[in-house]
């Protein structure tokens, strides 16, 4: 890992942690300023306290800035949460949080962390574009919902389709290893997050 990137990672971690313990509100809103418009998300700790705490941490540290919506499958999900710099993502994708028991269903407009098995949630999040009962069965745990801007999400570019091998274009392994260095030049039509901030 490059020395400059190590400094960035340390700065992000320190900025998220701060000198005093952050008390995450029981309910708070986040505004995502995207390439298609603004989306307001409401997170609720009682739905998934570990997930909401991580989400709050990532927003505070600016983790999502310039991140691409790299998986957009109409009537299914939109996925994001890979840091723009692959070296930063390499660190954070291994900082797993423990599972929360499911309290809510994967209904249209809800957000849940992606996972590859028990206790593997880290930074990647998907937005449900449909009522996805199959994701309930697979133990994906919603932690927030869109309260404004679901119509904006529906406008995200979906022409690249599902990830490979089901789809033809975007390689999920290359996304993990290359982040924006892989995505931006090869898939220029992807929509992205300009900034995410906690609504005061």
Q: What is the pLDDT of residues 163-189, one digit of tens each?
A: 999 999 999 999 999 999 999 999 999
Burial of 172 (0-12, 13-18, 19+ CB in 10 A): middle
- Please give the average per-residue pLDDT across 99-106, as a whole number: 98
Q: Beta partners for 42?
A: 29, 145
Q: Total structural domains in the chain?
A: 1
DSSP 130: S
The CATH number for 28's domain is: 2.40.100.10
pLDDT(63) > 80: yes
pLDDT given at position 22? 87
pLDDT in tens, 70-84: 999 999 999 999 999
pLDDT in tens, 123-165: 999 999 999 999 999 999 999 999 999 999 999 999 999 999 9
Q: Which residues contact 129 (CB under 8 A, 6 or more apart)?
A: 73, 74, 75, 76, 77, 78, 108, 153, 154
Tell me which residue range forms the domain holding 33. 3-198
pTM of the model: 0.90
């Amino acid at each position: 890992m490059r020395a400059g990137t190590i400094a960035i990672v340390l700065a992000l971690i320190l900025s998220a942690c701060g000198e005093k313990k952050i008390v995450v509100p029981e309910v708070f809103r986040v505004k995502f300023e995207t390439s298609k418009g603004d989306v307001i998300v409401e997170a609720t700790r009682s739905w998934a306290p570990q997930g909401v705490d991580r989400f709050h941490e990532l927003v505070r540290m600016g983790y999502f800035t310039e991140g691409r919506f790299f998986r957009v499958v109409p009537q299914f999900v939109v996925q994001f949460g890979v840091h723009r710099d692959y070296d930063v993502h390499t660190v954070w994708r291994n900082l797993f949080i423990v599972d929360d028991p499911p309290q809510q269903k994967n209904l249209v407009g809800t957000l849940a962390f992606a996972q590859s098995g028990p206790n593997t949630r880290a930074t990647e999040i998907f937005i449900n574009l449909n009522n996805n009962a199959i994701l309930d069965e697979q133990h994906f745990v919603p932690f927030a919902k869109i309260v404004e801007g679901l119509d904006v999400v529906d406008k995200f570019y979906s022409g690249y389709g599902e990830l490979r091998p089901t789809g033809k274009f975007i390689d999920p392994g290359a996304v993990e290893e290359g982040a924006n260095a892989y995505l931006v030049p090869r898939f220029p039509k992807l929509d992205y997050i300009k900034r995410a901030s906690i609504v005061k």
